């Protein structure tokens, strides 16, 4: 099978996952299902992260691309983690 055709099928499959995960998050939040709020928020944020990862790996082609680009993409996440660590540390900031 030509590579372009398999890529097209993969892109459409990823679209299905993106739309499905998004709708799952909406259903979880709207129906609540008796789950604690923190669990719903955590689950939906994890779903969002999975969607972002799918877009970055397959639509932005980070999967299989040069490793340097992966470092460039990940670098801000380390800085964000550092900023969040400071932000949520009561020693520095009181929320």
Partner 1 sequence: MTAHAISAGHAESSTVTGIPNGKLGMWLFLASEVMFFTGLIGAYIVLRFSNLQWPGSEGHLVVWIGTANTLILICSSTTIVLALAALERRDLPAIRMWLLLTIALGSLFLGVKGYEYAQKFSHHIVPSTNVFWSCYFTLTGFHALHVLGGIVFNLFVLRQTFRGAGWGGQQHRLELAGLYWHFVDIVWIFLFPLLYLF
Distance (Å, rounded) from C-alpha 10 to C-alpha 27?
Answer: 26
Q: Judge contact between 18 and 33, C-beta under 8 A.
A: no
CB-nearer residue toward partner 1: 4 or 34: 4
Question: Does residue number 24 form part of the binding site for partner 1 (CB under 8 A)?
Answer: no
Q: Does 1 bind partner 1 (CB under 8 A)?
A: no
Alpha-carbon distance of 92 to 95, in angstroms, equals 10
35 vs 45 by CB, closer to partner 1? 45
The interface with partner 1 within residues 59-88 (CB under 8 A) comprises 59-61, 64-66, 68-69, 72-73, 75-77, 79-80, 83-84, 87
Minimum distance between the CB of residue 53 and partner 1, rounded to whole angstroms? 9
Phi, psi of 32 (to 5 degrees): 65, -45
């Amino acid at each position: 099978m030509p590579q372009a055709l398999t890529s097209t099928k993969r892109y459409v499959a990823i679209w299905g996952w993106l739309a499905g995960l998004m709708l799952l998050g909406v259903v979880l939040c709207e129906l609540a299902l008796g789950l604690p709020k923190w669990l719903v928020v955590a689950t939906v944020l994890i779903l969002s992260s999975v969607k972002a990862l799918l877009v970055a790996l397959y639509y932005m082609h980070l999967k299989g691309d040069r490793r340097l680009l992966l470092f460039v993409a990940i670098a801000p996440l380390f800085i964000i983690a550092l900023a969040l660590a400071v932000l949520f540390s009561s020693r520095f900031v009181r929320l």
